[in-house]
């Protein structure tokens, strides 16, 4: 039965493959997992002065803040939860290999990613920590589970078939596979629902080659003012954890908390369980609810990414003159316009046209006209002494002769109606990342 299924599932894949490449050898990892490696602009080849600077000291500082949140006012006798950073989407645009290396050296005990490809990339970069693959997708026939084993990754699963397929793959390689099972307690996105948990737990109890290492859920509203939906999710999760235990399963890690939940230990302390999975907070952004309610003792998060460029052209236009695509900006006075080589193809949203700000010489200057693909104009009339080559900052802090300031991802997100997660992950491959030790 199983064999027949496998052969049938291989059929179409072979036909599709034969058009471009020889089919995989019989018995090899069925449809070999191809890992596309999106290439990012490298610092060595950067001519343009536009770059993202990643402050590794700020990253370590944020890890310490999260460690304090894990330990904040725990009930007597409870150990603080482990903090496993979520480094999906190229570590929220900061560059996963360098971020992972830094956090590994700083003592972080584990990493979470979304994709199998992301886990493989980190193994390729020499990361030895446990890596949890949360996305739960391992190819159309779960063939990626072979790669999971090969690269010593820990898959998140939520269907009985995934447990069985992983069991067969593990049996072939003589390994024991660890998994975390995801429970859907109200996110409605991924995970076993109440009616499905027994089937998956029973499969695990039967399967000698697969060990249940973790049970997880994901919170939909941990950053909201109302904690009721989160508390309801935690209650549903506790019921699933109890069910697993009653079937004799002993998961080492029970986990639910994202950044928002971890940073609200007063209201949502119980969400910490054995492990927390913060992403955005590591990069210096406190989700809205958490920003409002984190106890001061946790300390302030520091922004990690700073996106900067330089003024490459300057002109003075008269009152009434218009500039940029669509002539969206009209000068009301004699205006000094500076042009900066960064645009929406670099991840600076076009919605910032005539709306956003940048820092020049330590002072804010407005973006004027339409943000275009490669270039953005700013009004530097009120920036005393602005000249060619001056640094401009679109994200992060700057100190200069006119003062100091910071443009946070939260502010940009508010201006354009998105969320800080989007602002950070939008910084594109064209922008080389430079890593800085303070
Ligand atoms: C992205 C993600 C996280 C981290 O979320 P943040 O809000 O960035 O802390 C945690 N768990 C899961 C399942 C995720 O997908």
pLDDT at 84: 98
pLDDT at 38: 65
Residue that has been written with the tokens 């629902």 in this structure: 193
Rounded distance from Cα 414 to ligand 1 centre (Å): 20
Residues 6+ apart with CB under 8 A from 22: none
pLDDT of residue 31 exceeding 60, the answer is no
Least confident of 28-32, 76-80, 220-224: 28-32
273 in active site: no
Cα torsion for 161, 166, 169, 170, to the nearest 10°? Answer: -140
Residue 67 neighbours by CB distance under 10 Å: 18
Residue that has been written with the tokens 């069985």 in this structure: 164
Ligand 1 atom closest to 92 (CA): 8
What is the model's pTM? 0.91
Least confident of 6-15, 35-44, 286-295: 6-15
Q: Is the CB of 86 under 6 A from ligand 1?
A: yes
Residue to probe by mutation, ligand 1, list 155, 184, 218, most atoms within 8 Å of CB: 218
pLDDT of residue 24 exceeding 50, the answer is no
Of the candidates 92, 138, 182, 325, the residue annotated as catalytic is 325
Residue to probe by mutation, ligand 1, list 113, 186, 277, most atoms within 8 Å of CB: 277
Average the pLDDT over 200-226 and give the result: 96
- Residue 244 — pLDDT band, cuts 50, 70, 90? very high
Write the pLDDT tens digit of every residue in 277-329: 999 999 999 998 898 889 988 889 999 999 999 999 999 999 999 999 999 99
pLDDT of residue 30 exceeding 70, the answer is no
The sign one gets for the Cα dihedral 82, 87, 93, 98 is positive
* HEC letters along the chain: CHHHHHHHHHHHHHHHHHCCCCCCCCCCCCCCCCCCCCCCCCHHHCCCCCEEEEEHHHHHHHHHHHHHHHHCCCCCCCCCCEECEECHHHHHHCCHHHHHHHHHHCCCCCEEECCHHHHHHHHHCCCCCCEEECCCCCCCCCCHHHHHHHCCCEEEECCHHHHHHHHHHHHHHCCCEEEEEEECCCCCCCCECHHHHHHHHHHHHHCCCEEEEEEEECCCCCCCCCCHHHHHHHHHHHHHHHHHHHCCCCCCEEEEECHHHHCCHHHHHHHHCCEECCCHHHHCCCCHHHHHHCCHHHCCCCCCEEEEEECCEEEEECCCCEECHHHCEECCCCEEEEEECCCHHHCCCHHHCCCCEEEECCEEEEEECCCCCCCEEEECCCCCCCCCCCEEEEEEEEEECCEEEEECHHHHHHHHCCCHHHHHHHCCCCCCEEEECC
pLDDT of residue 44 exceeding 50, the answer is yes
Q: Residue 422 burial (CB < 10 Å; 0-12/13-18/19+)?
A: middle
Average the pLDDT over 338-347 and give the result: 98
Q: Residue 377 burial (CB < 10 Å; 0-12/13-18/19+)?
A: buried
Average the pLDDT over 265-271 and give the result: 95
pLDDT at 195: 93
Q: Which residue has the higher pLDDT, 69 or 15?
A: 69
37 in active site: no
pLDDT at 37: 65
- Nearest CA, atom 3, ligand 1: 258
- The per-residue pLDDT of the chain, averaged, comes to 92
Average the pLDDT over 34-54 and give the result: 84
């Amino acid at each position: 039965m199983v064999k027949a299924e496998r052969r049938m599932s291989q059929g179409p894949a072979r036909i599709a493959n034969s058009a471009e490449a020889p089919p995989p050898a019989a018995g090899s990892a069925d449809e070999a997992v191809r890992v596309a490696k999106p290439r990012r602009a490298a610092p060595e080849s950067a001519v343009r002065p536009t770059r993202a600077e990643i402050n590794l000291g700020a990253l370590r500082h944020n890890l310490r803040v999260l460690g304090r949140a894990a330990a904040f006012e725990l009930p007597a006798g409870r150990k603080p939860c482990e903090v496993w950073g979520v480094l999906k989407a190229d570590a929220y645009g900061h560059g996963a290999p360098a971020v992972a290396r830094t956090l590994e050296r700083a003592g972080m005990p584990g990493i979470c990613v979304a994709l199998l490809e992301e886990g493989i990339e980190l193994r390729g970069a020499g990361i030895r920590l446990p890596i949890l693959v949360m996305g739960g997708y391992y190819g159309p026939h779960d063939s990626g589970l072979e790669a999971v084993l090969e690269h010593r990754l820990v898959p998140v699963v939520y269907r009985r078939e995934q447990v069985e397929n992983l069991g067969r793959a593990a049996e072939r390689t003589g390994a024991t596979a660890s998994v975390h099972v995801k429970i859907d307690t109200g996110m409605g996105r991924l995970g076993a629902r109440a009616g499905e948990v027994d089937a998956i737990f029973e499969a695990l109890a039967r399967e000698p080659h697969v060990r249940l290492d973790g049970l997880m859920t994901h919170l939909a509203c941990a950053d909201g003012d109302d904690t009721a939906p989160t508390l309801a999710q935690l209650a549903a999760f506790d019921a699933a954890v109890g069910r697993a235990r009653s079937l004799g399963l002993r998961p080492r890690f029970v986990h639910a908390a994202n950044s928002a939940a971890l940073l609200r230990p007063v209201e949502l302390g119980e969400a910490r369980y054995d492990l927390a999975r913060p992403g955005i907070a590591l990069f210096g952004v406190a989700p809205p609810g958490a920003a409002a309610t984190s106890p001061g003792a946790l300390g302030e998060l520091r922004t990690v990414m700073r996106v900067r460029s330089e003024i490459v052209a300057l002109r003075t236009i008269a009152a009434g003159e218009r500039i940029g695509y669509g002539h969206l900006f009209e000068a009301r006075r004699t205006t000094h316009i500076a042009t900066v080589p960064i645009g929406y193809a670099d991840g600076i949203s076009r919605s910032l046209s005539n709306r956003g700000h940048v820092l020049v010489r330590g002072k804010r200057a407005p973006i004027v006209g339409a943000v275009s693909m490669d270039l953005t104009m700013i009004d530097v009339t009120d920036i005393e002494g602005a000249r060619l080559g001056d640094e401009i900052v679109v994200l992060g802090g700057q100190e200069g002769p006119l003062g100091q300031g910071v443009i946070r991802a939260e502010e940009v997100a508010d201006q354009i109606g998105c969320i800080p997660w989007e602002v950070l992950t939008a910084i594109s491959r064209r922008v080389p990342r430079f890593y800085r030790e303070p």
